[in-house]
């Protein structure tokens, strides 16, 4: 599998423990959802990827989510574009 950020094949798989929290003040007392996914880490750029297992995914889908605008997505897309241009892709 190639890294989606830098296109490197230098990746490793780990087990992980991730607690996913919900946005907003109304969720301040919500403990979130504990997830134990396989975590793929690019050993060149540090980008990480995991897939939420089905049981935990259904827990996330049943909870109300506030619709705050993410500031991360445009930065990731920009970084991917810059890296692809640098690699001549």
Q: What is the pTM assigned to this prediction?
A: 0.60
Tokens 């979130």 label which residue? 32
Per-residue tokens: 39: 């975590």
**20, 35 Cβ separation under 8 angstroms:** yes
**pLDDT at 21 exceeding the cut of 60:** yes
Q: State how far the Cα of 72 lies from the Cα of 64, in Å rounded to an integer.
A: 21
Q: Which of 40, 39, 26, 36 is nearest to 59 (CA)?
A: 36
23-80 per-position pLDDT tens digit: 888 888 888 899 999 999 999 999 999 999 999 999 888 876 555 545 555 666 777 7
């Amino acid at each position: 599998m190639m890294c989606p950020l830098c296109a490197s094949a230098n990746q490793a798989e780990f087990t992980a423990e991730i607690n996913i929290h919900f946005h907003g003040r109304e969720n301040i007392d919500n403990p979130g959802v504990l997830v134990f996914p396989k975590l793929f880490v690019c050993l060149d750029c540090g980008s990480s990827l995991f897939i939420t297992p089905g049981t935990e995914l259904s827990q996330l889908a049943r909870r109300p989510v506030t619709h705050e605008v993410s500031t991360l997505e445009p930065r990731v897309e920009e970084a991917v574009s810059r890296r692809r241009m640098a690699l001549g892709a």
